[in-house]
Amino acid sequence: MQGQNNVSRRSFIGGLATALTWAGAYPNLTFPAQNRSQRGPDDYDRMAKLSFNENPYGPSNVVMKAMTDAFKYSNRYGYPDGGITEAIAKHHGVKPDNVLLGAGSGEILKVADDAFLIDHKKVVGVDPTFQTVYQFAVNSRAEAIKIPLLKDYRMDIPGIIKSVKNNYRDVGFVYVVNPNNPTGNIIPKQEIQLLLDSIPGDVPVLIDEAYHHFVDDPNYATSVPYVIEGRQVIVTRTFSKIAALAGMRLGYGLAPKELIARMRPFANGSINAIVKWGGVAALNDTATQDWTKKTTLALRKKVTDQLTGLGYSVIPSEANFFMAHVRRDVTPIIAEFEKKGVLVGRKFPPMVEHLRVSIGTAEEMDRFMTAFKEIFKQT
Ligand code: PLP
Protein backbone atom coordinates (compact mmCIF):
# COMPACT_ATOMS: atom_id res chain seq x y z
CA MET A 1 0.00 0.00 0.00
CA GLN A 2 2.75 2.41 0.99
CA GLY A 3 5.75 3.23 -1.11
CA GLN A 4 4.10 2.39 -4.42
CA ASN A 5 3.77 5.90 -5.64
CA ASN A 6 6.48 7.68 -3.76
CA VAL A 7 7.72 9.50 -6.81
CA SER A 8 4.36 10.97 -7.66
CA ARG A 9 3.72 11.77 -4.02
CA ARG A 10 6.98 13.60 -3.80
CA SER A 11 6.50 15.59 -6.93
CA PHE A 12 2.98 16.45 -5.79
CA ILE A 13 3.97 17.69 -2.42
CA GLY A 14 7.31 19.06 -3.49
CA GLY A 15 9.88 18.91 -0.70
CA LEU A 16 11.11 22.46 -0.69
CA ALA A 17 7.81 24.01 -1.66
CA THR A 18 6.23 22.26 1.30
CA ALA A 19 8.89 23.54 3.62
CA LEU A 20 8.43 27.08 2.41
CA THR A 21 4.66 26.89 2.76
CA TRP A 22 5.17 25.73 6.30
CA ALA A 23 7.66 28.52 6.94
CA GLY A 24 5.10 31.00 5.66
CA ALA A 25 2.48 29.63 8.00
CA TYR A 26 4.80 29.83 11.01
CA PRO A 27 6.95 32.89 10.37
CA ASN A 28 7.87 33.23 14.01
CA LEU A 29 9.22 29.77 14.57
CA THR A 30 12.96 29.28 14.62
CA PHE A 31 14.22 26.87 12.02
CA PRO A 32 17.20 24.70 12.76
CA ALA A 33 20.61 26.06 11.84
CA GLN A 34 20.11 25.43 8.15
CA ASN A 35 19.01 28.21 5.86
CA ARG A 36 16.50 26.47 3.65
CA SER A 37 16.18 29.29 1.15
CA GLN A 38 19.85 28.89 0.17
CA ARG A 39 19.55 25.19 -0.48
CA GLY A 40 18.33 23.70 -3.74
CA PRO A 41 15.37 21.30 -3.78
CA ASP A 42 17.66 18.40 -4.65
CA ASP A 43 19.84 19.03 -1.59
CA TYR A 44 16.77 19.25 0.56
CA ASP A 45 15.28 16.07 -0.89
CA ARG A 46 18.45 14.20 -0.03
CA MET A 47 18.23 15.10 3.67
CA ALA A 48 16.63 12.84 6.26
CA LYS A 49 13.98 15.29 7.48
CA LEU A 50 13.41 14.52 11.13
CA SER A 51 12.80 18.09 12.26
CA PHE A 52 9.11 18.95 11.89
CA ASN A 53 7.26 15.80 13.00
CA GLU A 54 6.02 15.26 9.47
CA ASN A 55 4.72 12.02 8.02
CA PRO A 56 7.48 10.73 5.72
CA TYR A 57 5.27 8.45 3.62
CA GLY A 58 3.10 11.01 1.86
CA PRO A 59 -0.66 10.79 1.33
CA SER A 60 -2.08 7.37 0.53
CA ASN A 61 -3.17 6.39 -2.98
CA VAL A 62 -6.86 6.95 -2.24
CA VAL A 63 -6.17 10.40 -0.85
CA MET A 64 -4.00 11.23 -3.86
CA LYS A 65 -6.76 10.12 -6.20
CA ALA A 66 -9.41 12.18 -4.39
CA MET A 67 -7.19 15.26 -4.58
CA THR A 68 -6.23 14.71 -8.20
CA ASP A 69 -9.89 14.32 -9.17
CA ALA A 70 -10.68 17.56 -7.31
CA PHE A 71 -8.30 19.72 -9.34
CA LYS A 72 -11.17 20.53 -11.66
CA TYR A 73 -12.76 22.55 -8.83
CA SER A 74 -9.77 24.86 -8.58
CA ASN A 75 -11.81 27.68 -10.11
CA ARG A 76 -14.45 27.59 -7.33
CA TYR A 77 -14.17 29.38 -3.98
CA GLY A 78 -15.80 27.12 -1.44
CA TYR A 79 -17.86 24.41 -3.11
CA PRO A 80 -18.12 21.64 -4.06
CA ASP A 81 -16.07 20.67 -1.02
CA GLY A 82 -16.58 16.90 -0.84
CA GLY A 83 -18.73 17.34 2.26
CA ILE A 84 -15.67 17.78 4.48
CA THR A 85 -17.43 19.52 7.40
CA GLU A 86 -20.19 16.91 7.50
CA ALA A 87 -17.62 14.09 7.24
CA ILE A 88 -15.65 15.47 10.20
CA ALA A 89 -18.86 15.97 12.21
CA LYS A 90 -19.97 12.41 11.49
CA HIS A 91 -16.54 11.02 12.33
CA HIS A 92 -16.76 12.56 15.82
CA GLY A 93 -20.49 12.26 16.44
CA VAL A 94 -21.02 16.04 16.54
CA LYS A 95 -23.04 18.48 14.43
CA PRO A 96 -21.56 20.51 11.56
CA ASP A 97 -21.96 23.67 13.65
CA ASN A 98 -19.51 22.16 16.14
CA VAL A 99 -16.79 22.17 13.47
CA LEU A 100 -14.52 24.98 12.35
CA LEU A 101 -12.16 24.25 9.46
CA GLY A 102 -8.72 25.82 9.26
CA ALA A 103 -5.83 25.93 6.84
CA GLY A 104 -4.03 23.58 9.23
CA SER A 105 -4.91 23.35 12.89
CA GLY A 106 -2.44 26.22 13.26
CA GLU A 107 -5.12 28.50 11.86
CA ILE A 108 -7.51 27.41 14.60
CA LEU A 109 -4.86 28.28 17.20
CA LYS A 110 -4.57 31.75 15.65
CA VAL A 111 -8.35 32.12 15.58
CA ALA A 112 -8.58 31.13 19.26
CA ASP A 113 -5.99 33.76 20.14
CA ASP A 114 -7.86 36.40 18.16
CA ALA A 115 -11.25 35.45 19.58
CA PHE A 116 -10.36 34.88 23.23
CA LEU A 117 -7.48 37.25 23.90
CA ILE A 118 -9.26 40.46 22.96
CA ASP A 119 -8.56 43.28 25.46
CA HIS A 120 -5.12 41.94 26.38
CA LYS A 121 -6.33 38.82 28.06
CA LYS A 122 -3.92 36.05 28.98
CA VAL A 123 -3.41 32.52 27.75
CA VAL A 124 -2.22 29.96 30.31
CA GLY A 125 -0.27 26.84 29.32
CA VAL A 126 2.94 24.89 29.90
CA ASP A 127 6.45 25.56 28.68
CA PRO A 128 7.97 24.21 26.54
CA THR A 129 5.07 23.33 24.28
CA PHE A 130 3.98 24.15 20.71
CA GLN A 131 4.78 27.82 20.95
CA THR A 132 2.65 29.23 18.13
CA VAL A 133 -0.19 30.10 20.48
CA TYR A 134 2.15 32.09 22.72
CA GLN A 135 3.68 33.85 19.74
CA PHE A 136 0.27 34.83 18.38
CA ALA A 137 -0.66 36.08 21.86
CA VAL A 138 2.40 38.29 22.02
CA ASN A 139 1.72 39.55 18.48
CA SER A 140 -1.73 40.66 19.57
CA ARG A 141 -0.36 42.34 22.72
CA ALA A 142 -1.85 39.74 24.97
CA GLU A 143 0.24 37.77 27.41
CA ALA A 144 1.20 34.15 27.91
CA ILE A 145 1.49 32.73 31.41
CA LYS A 146 3.84 29.78 30.93
CA ILE A 147 3.97 27.12 33.61
CA PRO A 148 7.26 25.18 33.50
CA LEU A 149 7.16 21.43 33.02
CA LEU A 150 7.69 19.34 36.14
CA LYS A 151 11.13 17.86 36.84
CA ASP A 152 10.17 14.65 35.05
CA TYR A 153 8.86 16.69 32.05
CA ARG A 154 5.19 16.01 32.80
CA MET A 155 2.80 18.91 32.35
CA ASP A 156 1.96 20.69 35.60
CA ILE A 157 -1.84 20.60 35.57
CA PRO A 158 -2.18 21.70 39.24
CA GLY A 159 0.13 24.61 38.33
CA ILE A 160 -2.17 25.60 35.45
CA ILE A 161 -5.24 25.37 37.72
CA LYS A 162 -3.60 27.58 40.33
CA SER A 163 -2.56 30.14 37.76
CA VAL A 164 -6.04 30.27 36.19
CA LYS A 165 -7.62 30.79 39.60
CA ASN A 166 -5.12 33.51 40.51
CA ASN A 167 -5.66 35.36 37.23
CA TYR A 168 -9.29 34.39 36.63
CA ARG A 169 -10.64 37.69 35.27
CA ASP A 170 -7.68 38.10 32.94
CA VAL A 171 -7.54 34.61 31.48
CA GLY A 172 -8.81 34.39 27.90
CA PHE A 173 -8.21 30.66 27.55
CA VAL A 174 -6.06 27.72 28.60
CA TYR A 175 -3.91 25.91 26.03
CA VAL A 176 -2.68 22.35 26.47
CA VAL A 177 -1.17 19.99 23.93
CA ASN A 178 -1.96 16.31 24.38
CA PRO A 179 0.42 14.59 23.70
CA ASN A 180 2.75 17.52 24.19
CA ASN A 181 5.20 18.76 21.60
CA PRO A 182 8.25 18.71 22.05
CA THR A 183 8.27 16.07 24.81
CA GLY A 184 5.74 13.60 23.32
CA ASN A 185 4.20 12.73 26.69
CA ILE A 186 0.49 12.76 27.48
CA ILE A 187 -1.78 14.39 30.02
CA PRO A 188 -3.58 11.45 31.66
CA LYS A 189 -7.37 11.56 31.26
CA GLN A 190 -7.87 12.02 35.03
CA GLU A 191 -5.77 15.18 34.90
CA ILE A 192 -7.75 16.60 31.99
CA GLN A 193 -10.88 15.95 34.02
CA LEU A 194 -9.28 17.59 37.07
CA LEU A 195 -8.35 20.64 34.99
CA LEU A 196 -11.84 21.07 33.58
CA ASP A 197 -13.52 20.47 36.94
CA SER A 198 -11.22 22.80 38.86
CA ILE A 199 -11.17 26.01 36.83
CA PRO A 200 -14.12 28.39 36.46
CA GLY A 201 -16.53 26.86 33.93
CA ASP A 202 -16.53 29.87 31.62
CA VAL A 203 -12.80 29.75 30.83
CA PRO A 204 -12.33 28.03 27.44
CA VAL A 205 -9.75 25.24 27.36
CA LEU A 206 -8.14 24.48 24.00
CA ILE A 207 -6.83 20.92 23.87
CA ASP A 208 -4.51 20.46 20.91
CA GLU A 209 -4.65 16.83 19.78
CA ALA A 210 -2.36 17.14 16.75
CA TYR A 211 -0.65 13.83 17.66
CA HIS A 212 -3.76 11.98 18.88
CA HIS A 213 -3.50 9.23 16.27
CA PHE A 214 -0.14 7.96 17.53
CA VAL A 215 -1.14 7.41 21.17
CA ASP A 216 -1.28 3.92 22.67
CA ASP A 217 -1.27 4.69 26.41
CA PRO A 218 -4.60 3.65 28.00
CA ASN A 219 -4.29 6.60 30.42
CA TYR A 220 -4.92 8.92 27.49
CA ALA A 221 -8.35 9.82 26.17
CA THR A 222 -9.45 12.29 23.55
CA SER A 223 -11.31 15.29 24.95
CA VAL A 224 -13.98 15.26 22.23
CA PRO A 225 -16.59 13.89 24.70
CA TYR A 226 -16.26 17.14 26.69
CA VAL A 227 -17.23 19.05 23.55
CA ILE A 228 -20.28 16.83 23.16
CA GLU A 229 -21.12 17.46 26.84
CA GLY A 230 -21.13 21.18 26.07
CA ARG A 231 -18.13 22.09 28.25
CA GLN A 232 -16.08 25.14 27.27
CA VAL A 233 -13.59 22.95 25.40
CA ILE A 234 -12.09 23.31 21.94
CA VAL A 235 -10.32 20.24 20.56
CA THR A 236 -8.03 20.77 17.58
CA ARG A 237 -6.99 18.07 15.15
CA THR A 238 -4.88 18.10 12.00
CA PHE A 239 -4.50 16.21 8.75
CA SER A 240 -0.80 17.15 8.71
CA LYS A 241 0.51 14.25 10.77
CA ILE A 242 -1.36 10.96 10.44
CA ALA A 243 -2.75 11.81 6.98
CA ALA A 244 0.53 13.27 5.66
CA LEU A 245 -1.11 16.44 4.34
CA ALA A 246 1.08 19.03 6.11
CA GLY A 247 1.84 20.90 2.91
CA MET A 248 -1.80 20.97 1.84
CA ARG A 249 -2.93 22.71 5.08
CA LEU A 250 -6.07 21.26 6.64
CA GLY A 251 -7.07 21.07 10.29
CA TYR A 252 -10.12 21.79 12.39
CA GLY A 253 -11.48 22.70 15.77
CA LEU A 254 -14.41 21.02 17.52
CA ALA A 255 -16.30 22.98 20.15
CA PRO A 256 -19.80 23.76 21.43
CA LYS A 257 -21.56 25.87 18.85
CA GLU A 258 -21.44 29.08 20.92
CA LEU A 259 -17.64 28.83 21.06
CA ILE A 260 -17.46 28.08 17.34
CA ALA A 261 -19.68 31.12 16.73
CA ARG A 262 -17.25 33.28 18.74
CA MET A 263 -14.29 31.98 16.74
CA ARG A 264 -15.74 31.79 13.22
CA PRO A 265 -15.59 35.55 12.44
CA PHE A 266 -11.81 35.39 12.88
CA ALA A 267 -11.30 32.46 10.51
CA ASN A 268 -10.01 33.16 7.05
CA GLY A 269 -11.81 30.36 5.21
CA SER A 270 -8.91 30.08 2.79
CA ILE A 271 -8.70 26.32 2.61
CA ASN A 272 -7.78 25.06 -0.81
CA ALA A 273 -10.37 23.25 -2.88
CA ILE A 274 -8.25 20.14 -3.29
CA VAL A 275 -7.34 19.25 0.26
CA LYS A 276 -10.98 19.23 1.36
CA TRP A 277 -11.51 16.21 -0.88
CA GLY A 278 -8.26 14.67 0.32
CA GLY A 279 -9.42 15.17 3.92
CA VAL A 280 -12.67 13.27 3.35
CA ALA A 281 -10.76 10.40 1.73
CA ALA A 282 -8.21 10.39 4.57
CA LEU A 283 -10.92 10.14 7.24
CA ASN A 284 -12.17 6.97 5.56
CA ASP A 285 -8.75 5.49 4.92
CA THR A 286 -8.29 3.82 8.29
CA ALA A 287 -6.09 1.07 6.81
CA THR A 288 -3.34 3.54 5.94
CA GLN A 289 -3.68 5.26 9.31
CA ASP A 290 -3.28 1.93 11.10
CA TRP A 291 -0.26 1.09 8.99
CA THR A 292 1.31 4.49 9.66
CA LYS A 293 0.76 4.23 13.39
CA LYS A 294 2.11 0.69 13.60
CA THR A 295 5.17 1.46 11.49
CA THR A 296 5.93 4.70 13.32
CA LEU A 297 5.63 3.15 16.77
CA ALA A 298 7.80 0.17 15.81
CA LEU A 299 10.52 2.49 14.50
CA ARG A 300 10.24 4.72 17.56
CA LYS A 301 10.76 1.71 19.79
CA LYS A 302 13.71 0.47 17.76
CA VAL A 303 15.54 3.81 17.79
CA THR A 304 14.79 4.72 21.40
CA ASP A 305 15.90 1.24 22.51
CA GLN A 306 19.15 1.77 20.63
CA LEU A 307 19.68 5.14 22.30
CA THR A 308 18.95 3.84 25.78
CA GLY A 309 21.26 0.93 25.00
CA LEU A 310 23.99 3.51 24.37
CA GLY A 311 23.25 5.06 27.78
CA TYR A 312 21.09 8.05 26.75
CA SER A 313 17.74 8.60 28.43
CA VAL A 314 14.64 9.22 26.33
CA ILE A 315 11.41 10.84 27.51
CA PRO A 316 8.61 8.26 27.04
CA SER A 317 6.78 9.44 23.92
CA GLU A 318 3.30 8.76 22.60
CA ALA A 319 3.85 10.72 19.40
CA ASN A 320 5.69 10.47 16.07
CA PHE A 321 8.80 12.00 17.63
CA PHE A 322 10.79 11.69 20.84
CA MET A 323 13.26 13.64 22.92
CA ALA A 324 16.62 12.23 23.97
CA HIS A 325 18.81 13.72 26.68
CA VAL A 326 22.19 14.06 24.99
CA ARG A 327 23.86 15.65 28.04
CA ARG A 328 25.29 18.62 26.15
CA ASP A 329 23.98 21.73 24.44
CA VAL A 330 22.11 20.70 21.31
CA THR A 331 22.94 23.71 19.11
CA PRO A 332 26.29 22.37 17.81
CA ILE A 333 24.85 18.86 17.74
CA ILE A 334 22.01 19.96 15.44
CA ALA A 335 24.60 21.52 13.12
CA GLU A 336 26.66 18.30 13.15
CA PHE A 337 23.62 16.28 12.16
CA GLU A 338 22.90 18.67 9.34
CA LYS A 339 26.43 18.26 7.97
CA LYS A 340 25.69 14.54 7.83
CA GLY A 341 22.44 15.09 5.93
CA VAL A 342 20.07 14.66 8.88
CA LEU A 343 17.74 17.46 9.98
CA VAL A 344 16.65 17.18 13.62
CA GLY A 345 14.42 19.43 15.72
CA ARG A 346 15.46 22.85 16.99
CA LYS A 347 16.45 23.67 20.55
CA PHE A 348 13.56 23.97 23.04
CA PRO A 349 14.78 26.09 25.95
CA PRO A 350 15.07 25.48 28.83
CA MET A 351 15.57 21.87 27.68
CA VAL A 352 18.84 22.80 26.02
CA GLU A 353 20.36 19.31 26.26
CA HIS A 354 17.38 17.51 24.75
CA LEU A 355 17.28 16.64 21.07
CA ARG A 356 13.86 16.27 19.44
CA VAL A 357 13.82 13.71 16.66
CA SER A 358 10.86 12.94 14.40
CA ILE A 359 10.24 9.39 13.29
CA GLY A 360 11.03 9.15 9.58
CA THR A 361 11.28 6.07 7.38
CA ALA A 362 13.35 3.04 8.46
CA GLU A 363 16.14 4.18 6.17
CA GLU A 364 16.07 7.71 7.63
CA MET A 365 16.19 6.35 11.17
CA ASP A 366 19.21 4.23 10.25
CA ARG A 367 20.88 7.36 8.92
CA PHE A 368 20.03 9.14 12.16
CA MET A 369 21.55 6.35 14.28
CA THR A 370 24.71 6.17 12.16
CA ALA A 371 25.14 9.96 12.44
CA PHE A 372 24.39 9.83 16.17
CA LYS A 373 27.07 7.24 16.81
CA GLU A 374 29.63 9.20 14.78
CA ILE A 375 28.82 12.53 16.45
CA PHE A 376 28.84 11.19 19.96
CA LYS A 377 32.07 9.29 19.42
CA GLN A 378 33.85 12.46 18.34
CA THR A 379 32.49 15.13 20.67
N1 PLP B 1 -0.22 21.71 17.16
C2 PLP B 1 0.92 21.05 17.40
C3 PLP B 1 1.13 20.50 18.76
C4 PLP B 1 1.88 20.87 16.41
O5 PLP B 1 3.02 20.23 16.69
C6 PLP B 1 1.63 21.40 15.12
C7 PLP B 1 2.61 21.26 14.04
O8 PLP B 1 3.67 20.73 14.16
C9 PLP B 1 0.42 22.08 14.92
C10 PLP B 1 -0.47 22.22 15.95
C11 PLP B 1 0.09 22.73 13.62
O12 PLP B 1 -0.15 21.80 12.67
P13 PLP B 1 -0.95 22.15 11.34
O14 PLP B 1 -1.13 23.64 11.29
O15 PLP B 1 -0.11 21.64 10.25
O16 PLP B 1 -2.25 21.44 11.48
Is residue 290 domain-shared with residue 280, that is, in the same domain?
Answer: no
Is residue 234 domain-shared with residue 356, that is, in the same domain?
Answer: no
Domain boundary among 284, 305, 323: 284
Is residue 153 domain-shared with residue 137, that is, in the same domain?
Answer: yes
Domain assignment present for 365: yes
pLDDT of amino acid 44 = 84
Domain boundary among 226, 258, 284: 284
Domain assignment present for 68: no
Is residue 266 domain-shared with residue 305, that is, in the same domain?
Answer: no
Pocket test for ligand 1, best of 135, 207, 208 (most atoms within 8 A of CB): 208
Q: Which of 371, 335, 330 is nearest to 351 (CA)?
A: 330
- Look at the chain and report how many structural domains it folds into: 2
pLDDT of amino acid 38 = 59
For ligand 1, the distance from its centroid to the CA atom of residue 194, given in whole angstroms, is 25
Say if CB 154 and CB 122 are below 8 A apart. no
CATH code (residue 90): 3.40.640.10
pLDDT of amino acid 78 = 85
Domain assignment present for 280: yes
Taking CA 254 as the corner, what is the angle to CA 250 and CA 255, rounded to the nearest 5 degrees? Answer: 150
Q: DSSP state, 230?
A: T
Using the atom order of ligand 1, give the atom closest to the CA of residue 106.
14
Q: Is the pTM of this model over 0.85?
A: yes
Is residue 366 domain-shared with residue 245, that is, in the same domain?
Answer: no
**Domain range for 219:** 73-284
Pocket test for ligand 1, best of 53, 212, 238 (most atoms within 8 A of CB): 238
Is residue 184 domain-shared with residue 149, that is, in the same domain?
Answer: yes
Domain assignment present for 67: no
Is residue 108 domain-shared with residue 247, that is, in the same domain?
Answer: yes
pLDDT of amino acid 47 = 95
What are the φ/ψ torsions at residue 26 (nearest 5 degrees)? -125, 60
Residue ranges in the chain modelled with pLDDT below 50: 1-35, 379
Domain boundary among 249, 284, 319: 284
Cα-based distances in Å from 100 to 96, 131, 226, 246, 367:
8, 21, 16, 18, 40
